[in-house]
């Protein structure tokens, strides 16, 4: 991995996710922890590996559940694992489960673990709601007060406006910009038209629908029984639209810049509930168990940029580093899978990949990263059409690409994401 000869080779052995559902719909009553626990338990069961053979679970969520801050450990304790299975959590915004997979891979490469489950989940239906500082302050004082009058006094300065709940913002803390604002900004500075965004979104839906119809996702998406009866089952992603048309997409109003904007509900990734998990092993551990890995991790890279510039340009920064570490060029890749936060973000990145000026200005390189061959790009749709439970997306992409490499009997694939904070992630896989 990353050209370090001493490192052990890391195999992707299996991967599974829940169906993804638009938040507030089919999975709305499931917490992030429930989604995560169910997918990890089912992945284990499908893999034929005993729970005690798992050395570590690395897991993450972007919207943190305050009652389960180390979600990975809660997944272990809620699942079929002995309590001796080590577990810790990571967060890296939309690249959270890529980070989880990389952490698992690093532990395996270093000989610290042989078998790791990594992944991520998010419920956007059940975000933790907080209150104003004034109300929280009053609650803490009331909690500490010894008698009723003192408790009542603690609320003396609380006004109705302090009682308004505060949902988590999908906005940059450092700049105050929402992700949608950033996508608008990128569309404008990179000359990405509304038409191009809508065409991209339409193609994403068509590819996702075709993938479901051809059975591509059957082995990587579990049926999710809804408690308490478990009779109602969510079998498929609920977001891909077979009936989407360019006419309908072009009729949607811009949501972030209502007057001059081009980013709409149709060309954005929707708020989504879901979970994903990936089973990793050392090459030797897979061989000992007689398991043929789906694929191997060849290299990875993370990169960061100034959030005031173009927030969602992470793939164009992380990819060339991962390719260098893999000893490859973009044209060597058989498959490229880029997280689709917004069509404007994908198209801005693919434009940057092909640009010599971008390479010179932003990467300090004399050659462009490379022109993307559309027939190898996001072949089964992406976050616009499949949905984007923040923490789950990296593992979802890695699982799909690993299975595709296995199906093809070999090749190489890149998985890449942009993430809040101006971060980028890229993983090169091979078979």
**Segment contacting ligand COA (CB under 6 A): 35-43, 81-89, 245-253, 372-380?**
245-253
> Do 15 and 116 contact (CB within 8 A), yes or no?
no
User: At closest approach, how far in Å is the CB of 208 from ligand COA?
Assistant: 10
CB of 8 or CB of 205, closer to ligand COA: 205
Site for ligand COA in 182-211 (CB under 6 A): 201, 205
- Selected catalytic residue, list 185, 205, 339, 388: 388
Closest C-alpha to 106, from 52, 69, 55, 43: 55
User: At closest approach, how far in Å is the CB of 201 from ligand COA?
Assistant: 6
CB of 1 or CB of 21, closer to ligand COA: 21
Residues in the interface with ligand COA (CB under 6 A) total 19
Closest C-alpha to 142, from 166, 158, 161, 165: 158
> Kindly report the CA angle at 50 between 44 and 56, in degrees rounded to 5?
70
CB of 180 or CB of 411, closer to ligand COA: 180
Closest C-alpha to 273, from 25, 65, 15, 16: 25
Helix (H) or strand (E) holding 325: helix 314-326
**Segment contacting ligand COA (CB under 6 A): 26-34, 83-91, 139-147, 262-270?**
262-270
Per-residue x/- track, 36-75, ligand COA (CB under 6 A): ----------------------------------------
């917490």: which residue's tokens?
31
Structure tokens at 360: 């010179």
Q: 418 an active-site residue?
A: yes
Residue 403 in contact with ligand COA, rule: CB under 6 A = no
**Segment contacting ligand COA (CB under 6 A): 45-53, 269-277, 287-295, 327-335?**
269-277
3-state SS assignment for residue 281: strand
Per-residue burial over 241-272, b if 16 or more Cβ lie within 10 Å, else e, is beebeeeebbebebbbbeeebbbbebbbbbbb
Q: 205 an active-site residue?
A: no
Residue 310 in contact with ligand COA, rule: CB under 6 A = no
**Burial category of 11 from C-beta neighbours within 10 Å (exposed 0-12, middle 13-18, buried 19 and up):** buried
Q: Which residues contact 202 (CB under 8 A, 6 or more apart)?
A: 244, 245, 246, 249
**Segment contacting ligand COA (CB under 6 A): 43-51, 134-142, 186-194, 265-273?**
265-273
Residue 90 in contact with ligand COA, rule: CB under 6 A = no
Residue 28 in contact with ligand COA, rule: CB under 6 A = no
Work out which of 252, 291, 328, 354 binds ligand COA, going by CB under 6 A: 252
**Segment contacting ligand COA (CB under 6 A): 52-60, 65-73, 242-250, 293-301?**
242-250
CB of 179 or CB of 347, closer to ligand COA: 179
Residue 94 in contact with ligand COA, rule: CB under 6 A = yes
Phi-psi region of 230 (alpha: psi -120 to 50; beta: other; left: phi over 0): left
Q: Which residues contact 124 (CB under 8 A, 6 or more apart)?
A: 23, 63, 271, 272, 273, 389, 390
Residue 110: how many other CB atoms lie within 10 Å: 13
Closest C-alpha to 26, from 200, 205, 272: 272
**Segment contacting ligand COA (CB under 6 A): 145-153, 263-271, 348-356, 406-414?**
263-271
φ, ψ of residue 386 in degrees (nearest 5): -90, -25
Site for ligand COA in 323-362 (CB under 6 A): 341
**Could you tell me how many residues make up the chain?**
431
Residue 27 in contact with ligand COA, rule: CB under 6 A = no
Work out which of 104, 120, 270, 394 binds ligand COA, going by CB under 6 A: 270
- Selected catalytic residue, list 94, 185, 205, 339: 94
Q: 185 an active-site residue?
A: no
CB of 9 or CB of 241, closer to ligand COA: 241
Work out which of 266, 314, 315, 394 binds ligand COA, going by CB under 6 A: 266
**Burial category of 163 from C-beta neighbours within 10 Å (exposed 0-12, middle 13-18, buried 19 and up):** exposed
Strand locations in 52-148 (E): 56-60, 86-89, 115-122
Work out which of 180, 274, 320, 381 binds ligand COA, going by CB under 6 A: 180
Residue 255 in contact with ligand COA, rule: CB under 6 A = yes
Give the residue numbers marked as catalytic.
Answer: 94, 388, 418
Residues at the contact surface with ligand COA, assessed by CB under 6 A: 94, 170, 179-180, 201, 205, 241, 244, 248-249, 252, 255, 265-266, 268-271, 341
């Amino acid at each position: 991995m990353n050209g370090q000869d001493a490192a052990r080779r890391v195999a992707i052995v299996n991967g599974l996710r829940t169906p993804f559902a638009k938040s507030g719909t089919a999975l709305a009553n499931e917490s992030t922890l429930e989604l995560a626990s169910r997918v990890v338990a089912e992945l284990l069961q499908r893999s034929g590996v005993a729970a005690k053979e798992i050395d570590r679970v690395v897991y993450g969520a972007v919207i943190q559940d305050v009652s389960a801050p180390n979600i990975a450990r809660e997944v272990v304790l809620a699942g079929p694992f002995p309590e001796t299975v080590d577990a810790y959590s990571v967060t890296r915004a939309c690249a959270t489960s890529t980070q989880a997979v990389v952490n698992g891979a690093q532990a395996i490469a270093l000989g610290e673990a042989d078998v790791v489950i990594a992944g991520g989940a998010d419920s956007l239906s059940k975000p933790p709601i907080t209150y104003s500082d004034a109300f929280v302050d009053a609650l803490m004082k009331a909690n500490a007060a010894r008698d009723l009058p003192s408790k009542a006094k603690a609320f003396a300065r609380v006004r109705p406006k302090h009682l308004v709940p505060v949902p988590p913002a999908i906005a940059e803390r450092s700049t105050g910009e929402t992700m949608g604002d950033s996508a608008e900004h990128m569309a404008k500075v990179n000359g990405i038209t509304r038409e191009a965004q809508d065409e991209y979104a339409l193609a994403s839906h068509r590819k996702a629908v075709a993938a479901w119809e051809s059975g591509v996702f059957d082995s990587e998406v579990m049926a999710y029984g809804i408690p308490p009866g478990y009779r109602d089952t969510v079998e498929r992603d609920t977001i891909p639209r077979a009936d989407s048309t360019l006419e309908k997409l072009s009729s949607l109003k811009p949501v972030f810049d209502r007057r001059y904007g081009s980013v709409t509900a149709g060309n954005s990734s929707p708020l989504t509930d879901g979970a994903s998990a990936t089973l990793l092993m050392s090459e030797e551990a897979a061989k000992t168990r007689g398991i043929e890995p789906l694929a191997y991790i060849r290299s990875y890279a993370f990169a960061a940029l100034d959030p005031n510039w173009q927030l969602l340009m992470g793939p164009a920064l992380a990819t060339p580093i991962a390719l260098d570490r893999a000893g490859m060029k973009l044209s060597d890749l058989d498959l490229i899978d880029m997280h689709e936060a917004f069509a404007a973000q994908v198209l801005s990145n693919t434009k940057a990949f092909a640009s010599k000026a971008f390479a010179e200005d932003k990467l300090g390189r004399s050659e462009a990263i490379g022109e993307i061959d559309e027939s190898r790009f996001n072949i089964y749709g992406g976050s616009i059409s499949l949905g984007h439970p923040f923490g789950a997306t990296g593992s979802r992409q890695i699982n799909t690409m690993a299975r595709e490499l296995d199906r093809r009997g070999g090749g190489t694939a890149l998985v890449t994401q942009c993430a809040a904070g101006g971060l980028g992630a890229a993983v090169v896989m091979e078979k």
